[in-house]
Each structure stands twice: as C-alpha cells, then as structure tokens.
Amino acid sequence: MRYMLAMCAAAVLALGGCDATPKATPTGDPEVDNRQAVAFARLAEEAQRDGRDEDAVRYARQALVLREDLGGAWNNLGVSLMRLQQWIAAVDAFRRAAELLPGDPRPYENLGYLYRERGFGEDAIRNFNSSLERDPYWLPSIRGAVVSAKALLRSDEDGLERVKRGLLVDDDPKWRKIYEGERTRIKQDLDERLRRLKSGL
C-alpha cells in the first residue's frame, strides 16, 4: 500500500513539477485528470492518517480542482478542516460530501460530531439522525445521537428507538451501560409525561 502511495506521490510530483506542494492543473483529458485527482486524494488520505492535516487539506483541494464530484475527498477534507478548527469550511465540505454520497452515513455523522464539539446539541442530534436515515444501524451515529440527547436530557420516542438499536448492535460493555441508563431515564420521563397528561396537569 505504501509503495502504491509513493508511486502516486511520484506521479503527482511529476505532473506538478518539483514544487514541494504540487499543483493540480486540468489537462482537458478526463482520463488524465481523473488519475491525477485520485493520486491527490490518496495523498490526502495518507497525510490525514499520519496526522498531517494541513497537508491533507492541500492535497484534497488539489484533487477537487481536478474533479469536483469526489465525495470521499470532500468528506476527508471536512475531517481535516475540523481537526484544524476551521469549522465553517468543514461544514461546507461535509454538506458537499453528503450531496455527492447520497447513501453514505459518514458526512452527516461528521457534521453531528462537529456540532456536538461546538456545543450545538440539537443540531448534532439532527445530523446524527440524518446519518441514521441513510443507515439505521450506523453505530458511530447511534452513539453520537445517544450521547448528545443525554447531554440535553432529551426524552422522546426517537431517542428510545436509538437506544434500542444501540442495544441490538453494540457489544461494547461501556456503551451497553450507557444505553441501559438512557433507556431507563427516557422511559421514566415518558411515563411521567403521560401521567401528568392523564391527570390534567
């Protein structure tokens, strides 16, 4: 894998000259542009894995100069921008990825994490839910939504359903304990709400 990435890097550098930051230049040949875009996207992934997010952003942007429709490159760009605390640019990248990857739960999952990180709990839940509309058993989004709802002390049927799904698919003992606690809390809140409604309070 590293050999292949090294070859891609060499190809990109050859196409972009000897500059330390190679530049993407559309050739007008879709096949060549696609190969360059994929090479830049791979370099971006490698840089991101190594924690070199500034490099990852540069490479991802070069890939997107050549091919704007690379949904995975937009998503990875958003992750690196989020790590660099460039929040607005990250939101834009994740939204673009969500448009281009209509069945992929990850762009909305990442938006959920971003909003939770910034203290916008309701927006976090909304985006985790959008992720779960794409894949109802996408574990990172189940976890994210449950924790976000717990922080807000939010109790509703949707939350109860997410907790049940978590208990179905998550084997991690730590998370199962969280789900059990949330299931109890939500049920108690819903029962209390119903009792008050029946008593006319």
CATH 1.25.40.10 segments of the chain = 1-99, 103-201
Calpha distance 91→109 (Å, rounded): 12
Tell me what pLDDT residue 10 has.
43
Q: What superfamily would CATH give domain 1-99? A: Tetratricopeptide repeat domain (1.25.40.10)
Calpha distance 133→124 (Å, rounded): 14
Q: Which residue has the tokens 């540069």?
A: 58
Calpha distance 59→61 (Å, rounded): 5
Q: What is the pTM of this model?
A: 0.85
φ/ψ bin of 155: left (φ > 0), alpha (ψ from -120 to 50), beta (otherwise): beta
pLDDT in tens, the chain (201 residues): 443 444 444 444 444 433 455 677 778 888 988 999 999 999 999 999 999 999 999 999 999 999 999 999 999 999 999 999 999 999 999 999 999 999 999 999 999 999 999 999 999 999 999 999 999 999 999 999 999 999 999 999 999 999 999 999 999 999 999 999 999 999 999 999 999 988 875
| Contact status, residue 92 vs residue 61, Cβ threshold 8 Å | no
Q: Which CATH number fits domain 103-201: 3.40.50.300, 3.40.430.10, 2.30.110.10, 1.25.40.10?
A: 1.25.40.10
